[in-house]
Structure 1
Amino acid sequence: MIIMRPAIEKDVQDILDLSLFTGGGLTTLPNDEQTIANRVMRSLRTWSKELPLSEQGYLFVMEDTSLNKVVGVCAIEVAVGLSEPWYSYRVTKEVHASKALNVYQTLSTLVLSNDHTGYSELCTLFLSPNYRKGALGRLLSKSRLLFIAANRELFPDVIIAELRGFRDENNQSPFWENIGKHFFSMEFDDVDFLSGTGQKAFIAELMPKHPLYVDLMPQQVKNCIGEVHLQTIPARKMLEREGLRFQNHIDIFDGGPALEAQIDEVKTIKESQLMVWDIDETISLYDHENSEAEFDKIHSTILCLVANEQIEVELYKVTVCFAKILENRLYLHPAVIKALHLKSGHLVRMKQLS
């Protein structure tokens, strides 16, 4: 079975192995064992309520329980930019006009901003290529939203997701090669690694303090502003279906878009339900390897995400499964109940997948 759960110390090596497949540009998942170990420990300390708001962050893993192996990872930063500046470029307009010459020009500019300070961030989303099947991508991304819905008081009112920017057929970032490189005099992967390992002081020291005029940039740069990495297109579409929108903020390194929304208006958070559970042995188990598995027409079941609502790091679990709803009860297969560690009297939080 495939489950989502909080990351723990034994997962460090598996997460490190996953980081080898990102292809660069996933700043929050560097191939650095100490950084990943520190990230796991920070997540555990967040669960135990040891950290101030400025340092809180939750790291989750997807585990294939048949192999006892981590195959995906995702995270939530509770409030960004409170301990060190959180930078983005705001894409804005600047007007140049002269009545004497009858000239009126509206120019696009990039302005360094800290507009997202204090917002929550959905980040570090990566799924092993071998598991990009069925509903597993939705499980990986949306499980975080179920967690937020269950713990709404822990999070602010706005949430963002910074997405990896466009890279060309040579795995180069046109935005970095034509813009950022001139200010940092470093290779993209080196800057990306420094930022991902928490060494960010250089950003404020080296970033341009004045607006950058988009009209003066090469066409290939203009074309990639706010566009995403090929592998990130499904994640963007999924987040947009949840209600997150591009509000003209982009990543300072690769020009990738930042999507944002009011937390209470995010679809999964708004529509998730708390339900009493029961057992039904006739319900099929979900099989992500089967392309037809999202339909169990024989038993008239629905495909949904189910979380166990436990608040202990050792117990919190989310999975994707078939279920039935009868008389306000959610009926689950015994294997799902076992995987979620459900006990009599526990409620579950569910959201039907569409």
Structure 2
Amino acid sequence: MTFRLRAARASDLEALYEMAKLTGGGFTNLPPDRGALRAKLERAEAAFANDADTLSDEQFVLVLENARSGAVRGTCQLMTKVGQRWPFYSYRLNTLTQYSQELDRTVRAEILSLVTDLEGSSEVGGLFLHPNERAGGLGLLLARSRYMFVAMHRRRFADRIIAELRGIIDERGGSPFWEGVAGRFFGMNFQDADYFNAINGNQFIADLMPKHPVYVAMLSEDARSVIGVPHPTGRAAMRMLENEGFRYEGYVDIFDGGPTMVAHTDNVTSVTSCNQAQVTGLDVAEGERAILATGRLGSFRACFGARVLDGEGGIAIDSASADLLDVREGDLVWSVTR
């Protein structure tokens, strides 16, 4: 395996732009716009350079690099405290129960309410793997390395963490949910609204979106059927999130109706099971398969490898991983079972 995850740099702009053009829309955290991507990288550079071990509104960008060729083939992001620069809106799906004594009838109606309940949470997002690399578990490496980064910098993240999954996009690039709900009020199609949000933020939602609850029964069948449903390409990601301890609690994206997954940070499997040990050997031939990580902030690196824990605070790893991570005996390495 020649791939490792590392902190993004300004020089990764063109690689991120080329990947952004492959997302197919509905991917707010990775817009195909050089200016927006450059701003993300500048923000990430500031976050990596900030050595204060406190929670604030920051964004980290990581990239998956082929160490042999230097090609960047994937990316992911971590937002430490959402809803600070502009409101973090979601729809919350709830059930309203009403009873008529005269008719002796109980009616239950599902409603969507515009809320900012998740404001202040940390968020993992922006995960994208180049289509030519979707084999060998690299998506798993991207996803789980984010939680290792959280564990290694725990004070920089909130006690609640969320992940937004892209919702259903039709063959025309439109969103049945947007067209059935918000699109009726904005005079914009989904692609224009999604792009505007990615570049300028969602303050326009606060300005124009009706604040009254939306009764689901009044929506079209196309819109109703996609509420809380992930895009087909996101089903595996949803299963991975569930395996990490994330749950769908009725929050959906205001643009495409995709599910927002929620977890307590300290209950996330890869956070709680991530342990630190000192490297005692670099010649493991047959060890436990694991994800290994080292470094702090801008020097963070992670890769697949093999480990042997000695039970006394020491770890032996394979030589290939040691080269990818640039670690030697005596260095500290974090690891989780693959």
Task: Give the structure 1 partner of residue 289 of structure 2.
Answer: 303
Structure 1 stretches of 5 or more lacking a match?
284-298
> Which amino acid in structure 1 is aligned with residue 204 of structure 2?
F
Aligned equivalents of 1:138 and 1:104: distance in 2? 46
Aligned equivalents of 2:55 and 2:38: distance in 1? 20
Most deviating of 53-62 and 77-86: 53-62
> Which amino acid in structure 2 is aligned with residue 303 of structure 1?
R
Task: Give the structure 1 partner of residue 318 of structure 2.
Answer: 333
> Which amino acid in structure 2 is aligned with residue 17 of structure 1?
E
2:307 to 318, 323, 327: 323
Task: Give the structure 2 partner of residue 38 of structure 1.
Answer: 39
Report how far residue 25 of structure 1 moved.
0.4
Report how far residue 320 of structure 1 moved.
0.9
Matches within 5 A, 1:149-164: 149-164=151-166
Structure 2 stretches of 5 or more lacking a match?
none
Most deviating of 88-97 and 241-250: 88-97
Matches within 5 A, 1:1-354: 1-49=2-50, 55-281=57-283, 283=285, 299=286, 301-308=287-294, 310-313=295-298, 315-328=299-312, 329-353=314-338
Identity of aligned residues (%): 33
Most deviating of 135-144 and 43-52: 43-52
When the two chains are superposed, the root-mean-square deviation of aligned CA atoms in Å is: 1.8
CA contact (8 A) 1:77 1:121 kept: yes
CA contact (8 A) 2:288 2:308 kept: yes
Aligned equivalents of 2:160 and 2:30: distance in 1? 23
Aligned equivalents of 2:72 and 2:11: distance in 1? 10
Return closer, same or farther for 1:350/1:282 CA change in 2, 3 Å cut-off.
closer
Q: Provide the TM-score with structure 1 as the length reference.
A: 0.90
**1:237-277, Cα deviation, whole Å (9 max, x unpaired):** 10110000001000000000000010000000001111222
Aligned equivalents of 1:204 and 1:27: distance in 2? 17
Report how far residue 195 of structure 1 moved.
0.8
> Which amino acid in structure 2 is aligned with residue 5 of structure 1?
R
Aligned equivalents of 1:81 and 1:8: distance in 2? 25
Return closer, same or farther for 1:351/1:151 CA change in 2, 3 Å cut-off.
same
Aligned equivalents of 2:282 and 2:146: distance in 1? 27
> Which amino acid in structure 2 is aligned with residue 230 of structure 1?
P
CA contact (8 A) 1:225 1:256 kept: yes
Return closer, same or farther for 1:148/1:282 CA change in 2, 3 Å cut-off.
closer
Task: Give the structure 2 partner of residue 290 of structure 1.
Answer: none
Return closer, same or farther for 1:54/1:282 CA change in 2, 3 Å cut-off.
closer
Aligned equivalents of 2:115 and 2:208: distance in 1? 14
Return closer, same or farther for 1:155/1:53 CA change in 2, 3 Å cut-off.
closer
SS of the equivalent of 2:200 reads: coil
SS of the equivalent of 2:32 reads: coil
Aligned equivalents of 2:174 and 2:22: distance in 1? 16
Report how far residue 171 of structure 1 moved.
4.0
Aligned equivalents of 2:108 and 2:50: distance in 1? 49
SS of the equivalent of 2:181 reads: helix
Residues matched between the structures, number = 335
CA contact (8 A) 1:54 1:83 kept: no
CA contact (8 A) 2:293 2:334 kept: yes
Report how far residue 50 of structure 1 moved.
8.3
CA contact (8 A) 1:54 1:82 kept: no
